[in-house]
């Protein structure tokens, strides 16, 4: 089995990603924390910034497929994002 990561277009079809997704869906409450592309690029201005569009598209697709709640941090403070996370956890009976 080769090394797969989110820079690899075939990652979603790899055995590793399928196992991780199956375990995560069965045993975890998954919350997707995201931001708009331009915001992410400014937050990660290092050499990995070029992979952000692919990663964002990949994670958006996975999130839609599994129906995970989404917290969009674009234009929000850390405190606002934490409050939204806590609200999701309370609504799902996890707190």
- Share the mean pLDDT of the chain: 83
The band of 81, judged by pLDDT with boundaries at 50, 70 and 90, is very high
User: For 74, which DSSP code?
Assistant: T
> What pLDDT sits at residue 47?
63
Per DSSP, what are the bridge partners of residue 72? 34
- Tens digit of pLDDT for each residue in 41-67? 888 877 677 788 888 888 898 889 888
Which of 43, 27, 54, 51 lies closest to 78, judged by CA? 43
Q: What kind and span of H or E run contains 29?
A: none
Q: Which residue has the higher pLDDT, 70 or 55?
A: 70
The band of 7, judged by pLDDT with boundaries at 50, 70 and 90, is low
Helix 52-66 vs helix 15-27: crossing angle, to nearest 10: 50
> What pLDDT sits at residue 55?
85
């Amino acid at each position: 089995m080769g090394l797969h990561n989110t820079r690899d277009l075939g990652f979603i079809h790899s055995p590793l990603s399928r196992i991780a997704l199956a375990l995560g869906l069965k045993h975890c409450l998954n919350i997707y924390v995201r931001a708009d592309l331009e915001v992410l690029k400014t937050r990660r201005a290092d050499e990995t910034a070029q992979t952000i569009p692919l990663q964002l598209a990949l994670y958006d697709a996975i999130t839609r497929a599994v129906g995970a709640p989404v917290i969009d941090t674009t234009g929000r403070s850390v405190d606002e994002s934490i409050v939204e996370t806590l609200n999701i956890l309370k609504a799902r009976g996890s707190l």
